[in-house]
């Protein structure tokens, strides 16, 4: 096996571990996150720079906003439109959106 092959294997292992750690950090299920993104995609036409739609969605699903919103912010989701832009982009692989 060449150095190039070994580097590819190590890179793939690193990416897989990174993805697993990212998924393990999620305070909601993949299906709930995907549903949140779908809901925001359908309900946010202009952003008022709040999390009103996200909070309503979480409460309707009996999910804990006090636990989930800080996590969304850690991943760039400071308002509904940023969740669509940043969180969706970061979790695209995990959600099977690619």
Q: Give the start-to-end residue ranges of the domains of the chain.
A: 27-91
d(CA 88, CA 64): 19
> Do residues 77 and 83 lie in contact, with contact meaning Cβ atoms separated by under 8 Å?
yes
Instruction: Write out pLDDT tens, residues 10-19.
Output: 888 888 888 8
From the list 41, 40, 42, 51, the residue with the least C-alpha distance to 79 is 51
Question: pLDDT tier at 98 (50, 70, 90 boundaries)?
Answer: low
Q: How many helices (H) and strands (E) does the chain have?
A: 6, 0
Rounded CA Rg of the chain? 16
Tokens of 66: 């006090």
Q: What mean pLDDT do residues 60-75 have?
A: 97
pTM of the predicted structure, to 2 decimals: 0.82
Tokens of 9: 């294997």
> Do residues 83 and 36 lie in contact, with contact meaning Cβ atoms separated by under 8 Å?
yes
Residue indicated by tokens 């439109």: 81
Tokens of 15: 């990416």
Mean pLDDT lowest among 4-8, 27-31, 86-90, 92-96: 92-96
């Amino acid at each position: 096996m060449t150095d190039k092959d070994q580097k590819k294997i190590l890179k793939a292992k690193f990416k897989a571990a990174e993805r697993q750690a990212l998924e393990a950090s999620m305070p909601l299920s993949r299906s709930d996150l995907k549903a949140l993104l779908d809901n925001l995609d359908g309900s946010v036409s202009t952003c008022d720079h709040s999390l009103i739609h996200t909070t309503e969605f979480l409460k309707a699903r009996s999910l804990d906003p006090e636990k989930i919103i800080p996590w969304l912010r850690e991943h760039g989701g400071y308002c509904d439109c940023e969740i669509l832009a940043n969180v969706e982009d970061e979790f695209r692989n995990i959600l099977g959106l690619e």
